[in-house]
Amino acid sequence: MGTESSQGRTETPRERIERLVAEGRKARADLERALLFWRQRLQAGILLPTGEMVRITLDDLYHLLIDDRISRKPERIELILKTVFEVRQAREGRRRLLSAWKEDERHLFGFAILDPDSRVRTMHVIAERDLRKYVKEPVLWSWSELPSSGMGQKQTSSECS
């Protein structure tokens, strides 16, 4: 999960974030806010709409913070996980969680990749049109509005076991 540094060795996500902060390419305040948010809201795990508890280690957090749209607003980590509307089968036994939420009157979309052990490997904020990229992945779980309830109740369906 590392990238090659200017010294030619692979740097960890934590080293990369620290380097980007030192170079002024990421704000130290954003990093500190993300670390506090992780301790207060993410460290104990997040319960998905599927009923599954997912974990985000400190190393996972640093990896997620490489994406500027996540590092500037670390609360999006929790939003992406709590607003999952579909789970699809990804490569290597991983699962892709597709999410949608409203933020400042805008509809936003994202995805997270879960490892088989329920750790969050990566996540990104994406454009709605990018959801089409994943239509060929088998659906494992979906969450949809009940058609005529008018009460915003949800129903779940598992299409694969």
- The DSSP letter of residue 118 is S
For the four alpha carbons of 54, 117, 101 and 68, in that order, the dihedral sign comes to: positive
Structural domain harbouring 142: 3-157
Is 85:29 a contact under the CB 8 Å cutoff? no
Could you give the number of structural domains in the chain? Answer: 1
pTM of this prediction? 0.83
- Tens place of pLDDT per residue across the chain (161 aa): 555 555 668 999 999 999 999 999 999 999 999 999 999 999 999 999 999 999 999 999 999 999 999 999 999 999 999 999 999 999 999 999 999 999 999 999 999 999 999 999 999 999 999 999 999 999 999 987 534 333 333 445 454 43
Q: How far is CA 79 from CA 8, 51, 148, 153, in A?
A: 36, 15, 26, 19
- Distance of alpha carbon 107 from alpha carbon 101, whole angstroms: 6
Is 61:122 a contact under the CB 8 Å cutoff? no
Exposure string for 133-153, b = 16+ CB within 10 A, e = fewer: ebeebebbbbbeeeeeeeeee
